[in-house]
Homo-oligomer: A and B are copies of this chain.
Amino acid sequence: MRLLLAIPLALAVIPVPRLDDVPGQSRPGPIFEGAALVRPEGYHAWPIVGASLGLSYAETPQGSGPGSFHRVYVNPSSYEAFGRTGTFPDGTIFVLELYAAHEKAAPAKAGYFEGPRVGLEASVKDRRRFPSGWGYFGFENGARATATAFPEERCHSCHLAHAARDSVFVQFYPTLRDR
């Protein structure tokens, strides 16, 4: 009888795969070491919310090229929560990858595709950590294992002023904009 009682207890601790438990994604959301965000991993399996080319906030053009591709990913459970509630929960992490724009490799005769990666950044919503609700981080294209948040005025003031929803540029991201 004691054995029979023990079996339901054992069942209760069988790990059930979570939405975020996808291969290669050992860290399903933001991981902090003190004030530093650990470089995100496994996000290639996450949904992207938008892609863009050469978006620049500078008043003056930056060279004559097309600029870089941006890919913006979001952790799966926050993607799901946004679809259900229209808001981003604490623990949301967006990952921004930048890729050089390469062009005209056969059979393409025109246009741009993603060459080597040239940047890796992230933003995290955590209202306990960040007065504005969001922290922004740069990983020097993956060279940094951890990063502390940029000063508020470097990123958040513009996000707050121009981003369509909760400091996120939903207006540029069809996957969120059209939900």
Chain B contacts for A47, CB-based, 8 A:
44-47
**Which of B53, B113, B117 is A172 in contact with, Cβ under 8 Å?**
B113
Mark each residue of chain A from 23 to 55: 1 if its CB lies under 8 Å from any CB of chain B, else 0.
110000000000000000000111110111111
On whether the beta carbons of B23 and A80 are closer than 8 Å, the reply is: yes
Binding site secondary structure of chain A: mixed
Q: Number of contact residues on A: which range applies?
A: 35 or more
Chain B contacts for A85, CB-based, 8 A:
none
Give Cα distance in the complex from A76 to B116, angstroms.
23
On whether the beta carbons of A58 and B113 are closer than 8 Å, the reply is: no
Question: Closest Cβ of chain B: how far from A62's Cβ, in Å?
Answer: 8
Residue pairs across A and B with Cβ atoms less than 8 A apart, 13 shown, are A16-B16, A17-B17, A22-B76, A44-B175, A46-B47, A52-B112, A53-B101, A53-B111, A55-B111, A61-B110, A99-B174, A105-B171, A114-B172
